[in-house]
Structure 1
Amino acid sequence: MLDICRQSSKVRVGIIGTGFIGRIHARAVRQSGARLVGIAGVTMEDALQSAQELGADMAFESADELIASGLVDVVHVCTPNHLHAPIALRALEAGLAVVCEKPLATDASTAAQMARRARDAGVVTAVPFVYRFHPMVREAKARLAGLGRVSLIQSSYMQDWLLEADDDNWRVDPKKGGPGRTIGDIGSHCFDLVEFVTGDRITHIGAQTSVFVADRASGPVLTEDLATIHFGTASGALGTMAVSQVAPGRKNRLFLEISAAAGSIAFDQENPERLWLGRRGVSDTLVRDPLTLSDAAKPYSPLPAGHPQGFHDCFNAFVADTYAAIRGERPEGLPTFEDGARAAHLTDTALRSARTSKWVAC
């Protein structure tokens, strides 16, 4: 199992995109000990400024120039959604490892094509489903395996950053963000976490969507502000999911509760140091402590108990595991393009269900 503090100085990295998430990637690259060779942005001026701020060796005129430079081993694609596929595919053609933000593509067929290209190229690919890297999520997965048959899965992801009519973002535009905005942006994390923790596959979906804010500064809204999803799994478990970007007071609340024959577990991403454990006779709360965690969770818990870990730590662990894979190791639970394509497929299935008002097989 990977020690997430291990250095990976031989990995040469290029980042395409200089917004919020690009900066998160850059921080994790530096934390890993890898070499941040270059940045490509919307303009050369943007790239130069970001390279200086983020500690990169140089700036590139374009994504194509960075990919063709021969100076990097891995490219991080941190652009708006509609640019993910063309940039990632060019990087794969160049034989580079690729870390691509989710959604992997704005449609499921393109995402599946990207996963096939990655397999054919034989390179490492990764998608930042970083909530897998909370130590208490790994603990939940390990403990659930001993609780017997799963009966019910409840998940939700709530935000409020698009609550008002004057809140706007490129993600609202389906040409840039894709046809499934809230499901693709945050529901994809729920889909991934449900299947990762349970080890079970969602087999059918019934969904409904809603546009709560009908008009924004950019015009009429064509993508969903919120959605509710019912699903079933291959093992026979039932599940619910609610996602919203218009839930007042909820900033980034990802919640997962799973009921099984011998107990229940619950994880709240806004309170990630604890895992709720439910039993018929008694319930308890497990606090993150490397001294008491399972072997699956310990490598992702580098800080002593009482020293809170959070989103940055998850991202650092994700990037460290990705670079370990590039070096030939096999870290457990690394989300690949296969996982990104799976989330895109489930998003597409949910949208088809909502359009037809029918259950749809996955």
Structure 2
Amino acid sequence: MTTEVIDIDVDTVRTGLVGGGFMGRVHAAAARRAGAQLTVVASSSRGRAEAVARELGVARVEDEAAGVFAASDVDVVHICTPNATHAPLAAAALAAGKHVVCEKPLATTVADARALARAAEDAGVVAAVPFVYRYHPMVREARARVASGRIGTLLTLDGSYLQDWMLRQNDDDWRADAATGGPSRAFADIGSHLCDLVEFVAGERIVRLAARTRRIFHERAGRSVDNEDIAALLVETDSGALGTLLVSQMAPGRKNALVIELHGSRRSLRFDQERPEELWIGARKGSRLMLRDPATADPDAARLQRVPAGHPMGYQDAFDGFVADVYSAIAGQAPDGLPTFADGLRAAVLTEAVLEAAHSQSWIEVTS
């Protein structure tokens, strides 16, 4: 089917929101800061949608997502619903000719993710997945230093993403239900962010991996659990660099501890998402902390810095930068590093490889 995509100016973007939970509020705040008009919202029920509309100042509600997709006053749709609904909702939004921002995972199967990436390309729309940790300025600084050769040849890498919100057996969430959250939980939910950040900063792909997963509780809040709490990976990149990655939603005291460390033949780099104003630079003789400062930053890092040095930036700022890039792409620009449905497909491929490696207890070649 051929759909018409209308070029618009970033200042006139009209945004529709599907889903009104925590992530929906984050998306809405970022859209408003990017100058968009929040025109309509749909949620799990009309009552829920009306409550979200009042809270966020959205002009109108729809009973179902289909009403948002059909609306003539919507240019881009943000999909912030449970994982299993992402693929059908994103497909419907693309079929309606809308630009789409879909929460990750883009889909719970590689086949669905691949179909969405192809549909977005065929439709000629902007289709993005919020791998927003790319938008911390010091991540861009690290990426620029790797690309310039300042760290030398990549030798090894180490990373982890640790949380504790599923530590106890009575901790429950829809993500623990495989029918709603998908066959992978910890890796698909946060390990996908970790791998995206590693590949984005290193400029290299993970080409093979071995993995182990662990489910601590087979039942939560009286219902069975079919996806993992923890995943541990050994990875190899296309240059031969080796790395270890640990993902857990059961690490006491760790709230959102996303850390990557790259070791080159000249320098090492370490970024800690809970300390986003810093980049650790390691050397054989003398190591140092580089603090965020637009006056000394690489241009790609500087463009994301909306406040002067010494005025802390954080998660919402990164999300704001991502949405601003989505809307500038809708206006016809080509912002560097925008994560698209192709990146959502990449995450699905890695997730499937992790589950296969854990099941087979063998090394798995990761398709490109």
TM-score range, shorter chain: over 0.9
Which of 342, 345, 348 is matched with 2:349 structurally? 345
1:61 is displaced (CA, Å) by 1.0
1:222 is displaced (CA, Å) by 1.3
Structure 1 equivalent of residue 250 of structure 2: 246
1:9 is displaced (CA, Å) by 2.6
Alignment partner of 2:26: what SS?
Answer: helix
Q: Distance in 2 between matches of 1:333 and 1:209?
A: 30
Q: Distance in 2 between matches of 1:214 and 1:90?
A: 35
Percentage identity across paired residues of the two chains: 51
2:141–2:298: 8 Å Cα contact kept in structure 1? yes
RMSD of aligned residue pairs (Cα, Å): 0.9
Residue 123 (1) aligns with residue 104 (2) = no
Correspondence 1:281-320 to 2 at 5 A: 281-320=285-324
Letter of the 1:298 partner, please give it. Answer: A
Which of 4, 23, 26 is matched with 2:25 structurally? 23
2:159–2:245: 8 Å Cα contact kept in structure 1? yes
Alignment partner of 2:303: what SS?
Answer: helix
Structure 1 equivalent of residue 187 of structure 2: 183
Structure 2 equivalent of residue 96 of structure 1: 98
1:214 is displaced (CA, Å) by 2.7
Structure 2 equivalent of residue 160 of structure 1: 164
Structure 2 equivalent of residue 49 of structure 1: 51
1:196 is displaced (CA, Å) by 0.6
1:19 is displaced (CA, Å) by 0.5
TM-score of the aligned structures, taking structure 1 as reference length:
0.97
Letter of the 2:283 partner, please give it. Answer: R
1:213 is displaced (CA, Å) by 2.2
Letter of the 2:344 partner, please give it. Answer: G
Structure 2 equivalent of residue 217 of structure 1: 221
Greater shift, 66-75 or 178-187, is seen at 66-75
2:178–2:225: 8 Å Cα contact kept in structure 1? no
1:168–1:218: 8 Å Cα contact kept in structure 2? no
TM-score of the aligned structures, taking structure 2 as reference length:
0.95
1:220 is displaced (CA, Å) by 2.5
Runs (5+) with no aligned partner, structure 2: 1-8
Structure 1 equivalent of residue 5 of structure 2: none
Structure 2 equivalent of residue 256 of structure 1: 260
Structure 1 equivalent of residue 4 of structure 2: none
Which of 5, 14, 17 is matched with 2:16 structurally? 14
1:188 is displaced (CA, Å) by 0.3
| 1:84-115, Cα deviation, whole Å (9 max, x unpaired) | 00000001011110000000001111111110
Alignment partner of 2:12: what SS?
Answer: coil
Number of residue pairs matched?
356
| 1:136-176, Cα deviation, whole Å (9 max, x unpaired) | 00000011222221011111000000000110000000001
Alignment partner of 2:298: what SS?
Answer: coil
Q: Distance in 1 between matches of 2:358 and 2:14?
A: 43
Alignment partner of 2:175: what SS?
Answer: helix
Correspondence 1:60-79 to 2 at 5 A: 60-79=62-81
Q: Distance in 1 between matches of 2:345 and 2:355?
A: 15
Structure 2 equivalent of residue 3 of structure 1: none
1:163–1:213: 8 Å Cα contact kept in structure 2? no
| 1:258-313, Cα deviation, whole Å (9 max, x unpaired) | 00111000000001110000011110000001111111100111111111100000
Structure 2 equivalent of residue 83 of structure 1: 85
| 1:201-251, Cα deviation, whole Å (9 max, x unpaired) | 110010000011232114222111001001111111111110000000000
Alignment partner of 1:277: what SS?
Answer: strand
Q: Distance in 2 between matches of 1:47 and 1:221?
A: 29
Q: Distance in 2 between matches of 1:123 and 1:191?
A: 26
Residue 272 (1) aligns with residue 276 (2) = yes
Q: Distance in 2 between matches of 1:214 and 1:173?
A: 11
